[in-house]
Structures are given as C-alpha cells and as structure tokens.
Amino acid sequence: MEQGYWSNEIATILNIAPVTLRKWSIALEREGYIFTRDENGRRAYRERDILPLKSMKQLLASNTSIENASKALATKHKEEQGTLPVLQSNEQIKRSQERYFNMIIDELNNANRTLMERIHTLEESNQRIIQFMERIENERAEKPKRKAVALDLTKLKKWLRIFRSISGKKWIEISPKRRNDHVRELE
C-alpha cells in the first residue's frame, strides 16, 4: 500500500509554503490531475504525487507559467491516476481503536492474572515459612527440657549400675542416645 501524506508534509518535503502547494494542486486538478481526498474534502498526497510536484517546482523555476506546467504534468501523469485509500472512515477508525483497546485490556487482564498467581504463590510460601519458624521456636522451647531429661537419665543409669553391682540381678539400661521411652532389659 502506498504511503499517504498531508499537505504540510509535502510542503516540507518540497521546501515550499503550504499556500504554494495548494495553488499548484488546484492548477493540476483544473487540468485533470486527481488527488486523493478524505471525507471532509482535504487533499491527501501519495508517493507518486511527489514526482509531478517536484517537476512543477523545476518548471516554475525555469520561468514556465503555472498553467503550462500544470497542463504538461497532468497530461504526462494521467494514466497513473487512481485513488488511494489514505484515510480511513470514522467507523474504520473506531473499529481499529476498539480492537486496539480490547487488545490492551486483554494484555492487562493476563498481566493481572499472572500477578494474582504470583501473589498466591508468595502467600503460600509465607505460610510455610511461618509454620517452619513456629516449629523452630517450639523446638527451642523444648530443648532445655530435653537436656534436663538427659541429665536425669544419666543419673538414673548410674544408680542402676550401682544397684546391679550390689544385687547381681538383671538390670535395666537406658540409652542416652535414645532418651524417650527407649528402655530395655538386658541380662
């Protein structure tokens, strides 16, 4: 698709005033040259309109009248005339904008969904960390109790050995490595 330009853009390209471009365009249209127009009647220029306008500038610079230059250029470029849909109708613009906004809304919804999933994952991780920390605190609170039990078992073992040596009967050994109810009878 050929690119379209507004008059101020073409005037800048040709290094002329927009009023001069308008004069030249009117002269070319009088001779049958067709420029694309929007629904408000404003001219839109195509890539292929630039060459005749540059030629118009050269002819006028060589002291050719605007009428003769426009007749020559209109005749030369008549077979290339056609219409280029440079501007879209208001409905097309609205539909295009609607599609664009819907696309943005979809992207925002996807990003929101991803963020919500990440938040949920972080909340679960936080919960696991809190439970882990509570376990550590509970174990720290129980540690002094375990030491006291270990000391008691060591004293008990000592007394049981003394009892065995005195009575000669079978005795009970309590393993210091396995402190909780790991008592076994030995012969």
Q: Measured between alpha carbons, how far is 108 from 114 in angstroms, rounded to an integer?
A: 10
| Alpha helices in 35-89, H assignment, sequence order | 47-61, 66-76
Residue 163 neighbours by CB distance under 10 Å: 13
Instruction: Look at residue 16 in the predicted model and tell me its pLDDT.
Output: 93
Topology given in CATH for the domain delimited by 4-80: Multidrug-efflux Transporter Regulator; Chain: A; Domain 2 (1.10.1660)
- Cβ-count burial of 25 within 10 angstroms (0-12 exposed, 13-18 middle, 19+ buried)? buried
Confirm whether pTM is higher than 0.75: no
Question: pLDDT tens for residues 88-99?
Answer: 556 666 776 787
One-letter amino acid of 127: Q
Instruction: Give the three-state DSSP class for 1.
Output: coil
Instruction: Look at residue 47 in the predicted model and tell me its pLDDT.
Output: 86
User: What string of DSSP letters covers 4-16?
Assistant: EE-HHHHHHHHTS
Q: Measured between alpha carbons, how far is 48 from 4 in angstroms, rounded to an integer?
A: 10
Instruction: Look at residue 31 in the predicted model and tell me its pLDDT.
Output: 87
Instruction: Look at residue 179 in the predicted model and tell me its pLDDT.
Output: 47
Which parts of the chain have pLDDT scores under 70? 1-2, 78-93, 96, 143-153, 156, 159-160, 163-165, 167-187
